[in-house]
Structure 1
Amino acid sequence: MFKQSILLLVVLVLAACASPKNEENTTQDFTVNTAVDETLNFEQLRLYPVEADVDFIESQAGLANWITLEAALEKSRFRIVEKRPFGRFEDTNATNALMVENKTQDTVFLMAGDVVEGGNQDRMIAENRTIAPNSIKTIKVFCVERGRWNPRTTAEAGDAQRSIAFSGYYHVASSDLRRTMKATNNQQEVWKKVSEITTHHQATSDTDTYGALAASEAFNKLSKEYLDFFEGKMVSRSNVVGIVAVSGNRILGIDVFGHPNLFRAKYASLLHGYVTEAVTNGSAVNIQPEQLSSYLTQFYSLYHTKDEAKRFMYQNKMVHFTNLDF
């Protein structure tokens, strides 16, 4: 009996050693610094930095030189164009697909929520994508300009290449618009949300474009205060790979990137999206520590998800993690 008990104990110990580690412990590639930092708190928006472990940063060194969509669009050998109908008179899928041509030597990261301007109508990138050097890819998008299906200017219309190309970049969309896109995967719902946001800020236009926010005096005056306050606040921190954005008593979203360089490259446009949400639907920050802790427990538990809409991987490297479902 004694020998049987010893044998059982050995089996249990071996089983315990073979069991996977608690997921909460294995998510500590990075942690959220939950200390309230008044330099990261302005009216209806507070940011918490996501700080990466040194070993994690070193293991992700391959992402250090990737460039973002906004940087790629500045290069002559990179472009996004309307998807060609390939001989069909009408392509009913044209609204929700674009072609990306990357003839550079750079690896380009496209983030779900990036808004591009031009072509036949402005679009929002629907999925995280990695565009390798010297490659051509079809990407999924949603229209954020309901009332246009033609080149924006006469000059563009007369130039076959310019008429189908996207030359402008308008930040990352608000977290509310990104959330709608991810939750519904529905073009009508995306248009509805665009209308809600632009109407709120009196940013109406003939074509109902999300980019009309740029021409709204009221929106620009309000958002500029936030953007100026938070400008550069994260880029000097060498181990920061993301942010948690809070307004009122709720988390607007969490975005974490695979390397500090990639985060720094996305920070300004990502901030614009969170500022848009804060000035549209936000309120004075009053989140309680226990609420924040509960939200972050959910975040840590989701880190190992296989859902690419949340955790985007490339060649076994984590490129971007996001959660907007709070």
Structure 2
Amino acid sequence: MKFPTLHVGRGSQVGPLTVFPLWADKPAPTKRFFSNKSGSLVVSEREGSPVVGELVVTNNSVEPVLLLAGDLLEGGWQHRAIAEPVLIAAGASEVVNVKCVERGRWSGAGEQINRGRKTGPRLRSKLEGSMQGKQHEVWAEVDRFSSMQFTSKTASYVDYLNLVEEQAVGSDVRPLDGQVGVVVAANGHPIMLEVFATHDDLVQAWDALISGALADTRGVRSVRTPSRRVHRFIDGLESVELSRTAKAGLAEKVVGLGESDRLFTSISGVEWDEELVHLLVLNQRHDLFADAQ
């Protein structure tokens, strides 16, 4: 599968971030599915003996539900983040791989709360793609936030995200008509590119996506990223081939291969019945990832 043809719009400033809209030359998926904000998921610990790296997710909706790496599942015995994408069939239950983002707690209720929130790109880089890390590396990444004049009794990423969201200044930057993706940049260079199946999927993910990126760039000065650098970044991805690597529930996980290797990018996505329903590109050359690799 080829990397989709993307068209870039004018960037807008959101604090230290420059956010560029993306449109794609690809048809909408012929099959429907819901995002993790559908309210139809029941997330719980493994019955009998909870496991740090696994949760049970039941989809009570009439359509499949797509969970993406970085989606936060709060509560339970400890807060977790989805470690790899999975498309769960309607009425089905799946044991999903997760990473703990709260190492100071191992107690509480059996059910997780799904609020539709996401980790920032630094943590997402530890969950999937070529920079994927082990559990102790995820904990080390969460500990990094304690150096930002922030403390949490349970070493919780969710506590940090709560603080950042409380202090965040509201933004009127919203997805434009037909927009299905976004490039998020900071300090003059692209951090990440993300493309969703439909405009509605992007709208649902928007607040969580921006909040996560703002959490990662707290304290970074506001520098507008020129559009030419975004165009150059995307141009370097045009020759990428997306290759299937593993099952992801009903779908399959894909990774980018080819010329992107020399661009130091981590490319991963989800394909369902030969249709690309999600794509994530992380720019490993960005300063944000300098000490995360």
TM-score bin, normalised by smaller chain: 0.7 to 0.9
Residue deviations 1:71-126 (CA, integer Å, cap 9, x gap): 32xx4xx30111235xxxx67xx111111111321321111101111111100001
Q: 1:278 to 1:220 in 2, by over 3 A?
A: same
Between the aligned partners of 2:185 and 2:162, the Cα distance in structure 1 is: 26
Q: 1:295 to 1:229 in 2, by over 3 A?
A: same
- Decide whether the 8 Å contact of 1:46 with 1:245 is kept in 2: yes
- The Cα of 1:176 is off from its aligned counterpart by 1.0
Between the aligned partners of 1:214 and 1:306, the Cα distance in structure 2 is: 33
- Decide whether the 8 Å contact of 1:170 with 1:211 is kept in 2: no
- The Cα of 1:173 is off from its aligned counterpart by 0.3
Please list every run of at least 4 consecutive aligned residues from structure 1 whose deviation after the TM superposition is greater than 4 angstroms.
Answer: none
Higher-helix-fraction structure: 1
- Decide whether the 8 Å contact of 2:152 with 2:160 is kept in 1: no
Higher-strand-fraction structure: 2
- The Cα of 1:290 is off from its aligned counterpart by 4.5
SS at match of 1:253: strand
- Decide whether the 8 Å contact of 1:108 with 1:132 is kept in 2: yes
Asked if 1:181 is matched to 2:119, the reply is no
The correspondence of residues 305-324 of structure 1 with structure 2, limited to 5 A, is: 305-306=243-244, 308=254, 310-324=268-282
Match of 2:233 in 1: 295
TM-score, structure 1 length as denominator?
A: 0.73
Residue deviations 1:1-45 (CA, integer Å, cap 9, x gap): xxxxxxxxxxxxxxxxxxx9xx6xx732x3223x34xxx213411
Between the aligned partners of 1:278 and 1:314, the Cα distance in structure 2 is: 33
The correspondence of residues 146-165 of structure 1 with structure 2, limited to 5 A, is: 146-151=103-108, 163-165=109-111
Asked if 1:101 is matched to 2:64, the reply is no
Match of 2:74 in 1: 117
Asked if 1:252 is matched to 2:219, the reply is no
Between the aligned partners of 1:47 and 1:290, the Cα distance in structure 2 is: 14
Q: Percent identity of the aligned residues?
A: 21
Asked if 1:200 is matched to 2:200, the reply is no
1:242 to 181, 201, 206: 181
**2:152 aligned partner, one-letter code:** S
Q: When the two structures are aligned, how many residues end up with a matched partner? A: 262
**1:196 aligned partner, one-letter code:** R
- Decide whether the 8 Å contact of 2:195 with 2:278 is kept in 1: yes
User: Computing the radius of gyration over CA atoms, which structure comes out larger, 1 or 2?
Assistant: 1
Runs of 5+ in structure 2 lacking a partner? 246-253, 256-267, 285-293
- Decide whether the 8 Å contact of 2:4 with 2:24 is kept in 1: no
1:136 to 87, 93, 98: 93
Residue deviations 1:126-173 (CA, integer Å, cap 9, x gap): 11111110101111100000011110xxxxxxxxxxx21102426110
TM-score, structure 2 length as denominator?
A: 0.80
- The range that moved more, 261-270 or 304-313, is 304-313
Runs of 5+ in structure 1 lacking a partner? 1-19, 152-162
Match of 2:242 in 1: 304
